[in-house]
Amino acid sequence: MKKVFMLVDCNNFFVSCERVFNPKLRSVPTVVLSNNEACVIARSNEAKDIGIKMAEPVFKCRDILNFFDVKCFSTNFALYGDLSSRVMRILESFSPKVESYSVDEAFLDITDLEEANYFDFGKAVGDRVYKYVGIPVSVGIAPTKTLAKIASKQAKRSGGVCVLLEGVNTVLKATPVGEVWGIGWASTKKLRQNSVHTAYDFVNQKPSWIVNRFGVGGARTYWELKGKSVSEVNNAKALPKSMAHTRSFKNPITEKSEMRKRLVNFASSVAAALRADNLLCHEVIVFLKGDKNRDVYYSNGVTLPLENYSNLRTDIVKLVGKGLDRLFKSGERYKRAGIVAINIISSKDNNSLFENNTKRKEVAERAVDLLNAKWGRTITVASDMLVKPEKTFSRSPEFTTKWQELALVF
Ligand SMILES: [Mg+2]
């Protein structure tokens, strides 16, 4: 049976989250900046219109930001994450088959719905999300996930819902090949060199030509664009291959003790991220990178095993010292470092013999996670303490996850 997919994509998600509790921002150019405020990671339509580019470094567009009085926000992931899960819960009330593909996008399998209802259904979903959460969405409906992605982009231009079952070729002709889901920057370059500029040009190549140059991934995209679905809506979350906390340093690090502090902090975040997703890891990579501008560029990493599968801060932090002893060279100026957890399993699948002891420790660490999530970072392990980078832009309150930051109405 022919399948039908619906993609629900939150418009300018982070900016829309900021606007939910701050309606004055509506119709005002607004952007959200990355964690360290280095670049723009979300833009309102008004900000797009005045020419601010995605991922543009702040120092490059500072003049435009000032000139147009663009409202700038530091990321507030607690707020975005909470609103995202509210959106997902609403989508789950419409279909049992929902795949939350990213923080602001989800695929729904709507094969069982009657065709005549597609548009109205899409509209009802969008209306309910907006009414209950306050986030505007675009809805694309099509026979494959890749086409549903294209349809949702069309929906942004045409007011909310686009059903792409007929007239597909016209839309493919208007879609630059680089905008197709799954076709990356390098492939786009290669395709353009072969005079393939639009999605329509792409599907008019021979399948063998695609496979030879772009492998199985290319073939999947090809068939999906032709309307033949090769992927399902996947309710189960795929296990991540790795979980990492890495940073570039504005000022190079030269002291081992300073590097240890940073890495302990990264290890602590990786452990918390594993616990948050009920995952365990068995190996940890510690890496250090030097200054690329130096004559001899030092970059090295080491993979260290854990005794058992673990998501405990105490276990992962222990490896920092081992890694540093093997990697750290004095006299080097380090510009980047990180901790990457690999060999990951779900905690459900853990049959460790040492479970009891580990379980007890995990309960303790989870209690700290919970308190920190509820009351902000109130509990900090002594060795985690670090001077926070200076923030220049404001973060909005955590309206939905912290009692002391609730919005007040007078
Ligand atoms: Mg989006």
Q: Which two tokens stand for residue 50?
A: 């005045």
Q: Which CATH architecture has domain 242-379?
A: 2-Layer Sandwich (3.30)
CA 106–ligand 1 middle distance (angstroms): 10
Bridge-based pairing state of the strands 334-346 and 279-289: antiparallel
User: Which H helix or E strand runs over 55?
Assistant: none
- 230 CA from centroid of ligand 1 (Å): 23
Distance, CA of 231 to CA of 28 (rounded, Å):
39
Q: Provide the pLDDT for residue 377.
A: 55
Question: For the chain, what is the largest distance between any 2 Cα atoms, rounded to a whole number of angstroms?
Answer: 70
Tokens of 83: 């609103």
Report the mean per-residue pLDDT for the chain.
Answer: 88
H or E element at residue 199: helix 199-203
Provide the sign of the torsion angle of the four alpha carbons 359, 365, 369, 375, taken in this order.
Answer: positive
Q: What's the CA dihedral at 35, 24, 135, 370 to 10 degrees?
A: 50
Instruction: For tokens 């500029």, name the residue.
Output: 197
pTM over 0.75: no
Angle between helices 256-276 and 313-327 (to 10 degrees): 150
- Centre of ligand 1 from the C-alpha of residue 20, in Å: 16
The answer to whether 8 touches 151, Cβ cutoff 8 Å, is no
The alpha carbon of 292 and the centre of ligand 1 are apart by a number of angstroms equal to 34
Q: Which residues pair with 299 in a beta bridge?
A: 289
Q: Where are the CATH 3.30.1490.100 domain residues in the chain?
A: 242-379
Spacing, Cα 43 to ligand 1 middle (Å): 10
For domain 1-166, the CATH architecture is: 2-Layer Sandwich (3.30)
Task: Report the separation in Å between the CA atom of 284 and the middle of ligand 1, taken as the mean of its atom positions.
Answer: 32
Shortest CA distance to 151 belongs to which of 211, 108, 90, 210? Answer: 108
Separation of 208 CA from ligand 1 center, angstroms? 33
- Residue type present at position 141: I
Q: How far apart are CA 357 and CA 316, in angstroms?
A: 16
52: which residues sit within 8 A by CB, 6+ positions away?
Answer: 29, 31, 40, 43, 61, 64, 65, 70
Give the SS3 label for residue 26. Answer: coil
Ligand 1 midpoint to CA 17 (Å): 12
Provide the strand spans (E) within 110-241.
137-142, 161-163
Give, rounded to a whole angstrom, the gap between the first and last alpha carbons of the chain: 56
| Per-residue pLDDT, 152 | 96
For the chain, give every residue range classified as CATH 1.10.150.20: 168-238
- C-alpha 99 – ligand 1 centre gap (Å): 15
Q: How far is the CA of 140 from the centre of ligand 1 (A)?
A: 12
- Quote the ligand 1 centre to 264 CA distance (angstroms): 34
Find the 235 Cα to ligand 1 centroid distance in Å: 20
Strand ranges across the sheet with 30-33: 40-43, 30-33, 71-74
Q: How remote is the CA of residue 363 from the centroid of ligand 1, in Å?
A: 36
Among candidate residues 366, 341, 400, 352, the one with its CA nearest the CA of residue 276: 366
Residue 42 CA, ligand 1 centroid: distance in Å: 9
Please tell me the distance between residue 12's alpha carbon and the centre of ligand 1 in angstroms.
Answer: 5
Which residues of the chain fall below pLDDT 50? 385, 387, 389-390
Rg (CA), the chain: 24
Residue 380 C-alpha to ligand 1 middle, in angstroms? 34
CATH 3.30.70.270 placement within the chain? 1-166
Nearest Cα to 45, choosing from 58, 63, 26? 26
Cα(378) to centroid(ligand 1), Å: 32
Question: What is the residue type of 363?
Answer: V
Q: Tell me the CATH number for domain 168-238.
A: 1.10.150.20
For residue 121, report the distance from its CA to the centre of ligand 1, in Å.
Answer: 20
Residues at Cβ < 5 Å from ligand 1 ion? 9-10, 13, 104
The C-alpha atoms of residue 94 and residue 81 are separated, in whole angstroms, by 21
Alpha-helix runs per DSSP H in 227-350: 256-276, 313-327
Question: What distance in angstroms lies between residue 136's CA and the mean position of ligand 1's atoms?
Answer: 10
207 Cα to the center of ligand 1, angstroms: 31
Q: How does DSSP assign 59-98, residue by residue?
A: HHHHHHHHHTT-EEEE--HHHHHHHHHHHHHHHHTT-S-E
CA-nearest of 314, 315, 313, 338 to 259 is 338
Per-residue pLDDT tens digits for 46-72: 999 999 998 888 888 999 999 999 999
CA of 266 to the centre of ligand 1 (A): 28
Residue 391 CB contacts under 8 Å (≥ 6 apart), including other chains: 37, 74
CB 104 within 8 A of CB 129: no
Is the separation of the CB atoms in 398 and 406 below 8 Å?
no
